[in-house]
C-alpha cells in the first residue's frame, strides 16, 4: 500500500476553504489525507475512486466551519453537491453525498449502498479511533499514515466541539452519528 502524499482535488478544495477553517486547517487537512489514504487502501486507487474520495473527504466535515454547526452532515453534503455541479461532475454527486452522509454510521452499510460508502465509513473510523478500529488494515500502514500526516490537534478539536455541543444540546450531543 502506497501513501498518497498529494491529491490535487483535495488540495484545491481545502485551499478554497482555508480562511473559514482557520486555525483548524492543518489538523483538518491531515485528517482528510489520513481518511483518503485509508479509504483508497480499502477501495483501490483508480482515478475515479481517488477523485470521488478526494471530494468526499474534503467536504465530509466542512459544515463544521462553513455553517458553524456540529450538526454538519447536511451542510457538508450541500457544499459537496454545489462543488460538483460547478466542476461539471454532477454524476458523482449521489455517491459523494452517500459517503458523507454515512461516514459516522456505527454499523456496516447494507448491501446496495454505493461501493465507496463502506470503505469511506471505515476509513473515517480508523482515523477517529487512532487505528484501534483498523478493519484489517495492517498496523504498520496505519502508523505510517499517521506519521506522514500528524494529528495537529484535530482529535482534541473534536473533543472540544463535542463538549460544546453537549453543553448546548445535552439530549443530542452527537447528531451526526447513526446506527
Name 105's bridge partners: 178
- Which pLDDT score, from 0 to 100, does residue 72 have? 92
Question: Which grid coordinates are listed for 73?
Answer: 452532515
C-alpha cell at 178: 447513526
Please give the average pLDDT of every successive group of 10 residues along the chain, which has 179 residues: 94 97 98 98 95 98 93 96 98 96 85 85 96 96 98 92 84 75
Q: Where are the domains of the chain?
A: 8-168
CB-neighbour burial class of residue 158 (10 A; exposed 0-12, middle 13-18, buried 19+): middle
Predicted TM-score of the model (pTM): 0.94
| Residue 19: all three cell numbers together | 480562511
Write down the pLDDT at residue 113. 67
Domain 8-168 has CATH 1.10.10: no
Amino acid at each position: 500500500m502506497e501513501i498518497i502524499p498529494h491529491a490535487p482535488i483535495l488540495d484545491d478544495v481545502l485551499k478554497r476553504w482555508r480562511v473559514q477553517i482557520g486555525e483548524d486547517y492543518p489538523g483538518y487537512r491531515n485528517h482528510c489525507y489520513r481518511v483518503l489514504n485509508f479509504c483508497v487502501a480499502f477501495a483501490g486507487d483508480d482515478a475515479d475512486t481517488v477523485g470521488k474520495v478526494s471530494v468526499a473527504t474534503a467536504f465530509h466535515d466542512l459544515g463544521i466551519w462553513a455553517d458553524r454547526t456540529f450538526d454538519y452532515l447536511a451542510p457538508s453534503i450541500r457544499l459537496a453537491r454545489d462543488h460538483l455541479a460547478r466542476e461539471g461532475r454532477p454524476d458523482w454527486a449521489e455517491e459523494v453525498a452517500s459517503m458523507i452522509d454515512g461516514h459516522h454510521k456505527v454499523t456496516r452499510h447494507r448491501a446496495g449502498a454505493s461501493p465507496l460508502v463502506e470503505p469511506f465509513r471505515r476509513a473515517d473510523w480508523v482515523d477517529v479511533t487512532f487505528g484501534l478500529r483498523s478493519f484489517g488494515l495492517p498496523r504498520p500502514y496505519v502508523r505510517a499514515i499517521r506519521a506522514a500526516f500528524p494529528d495537529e490537534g484535530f482529535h482534541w478539536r473534536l473533543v472540544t466541539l463535542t463538549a460544546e455541543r453537549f453543553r448546548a444540546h445535552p439530549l443530542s450531543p452527537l447528531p451526526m452519528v447513526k446506527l
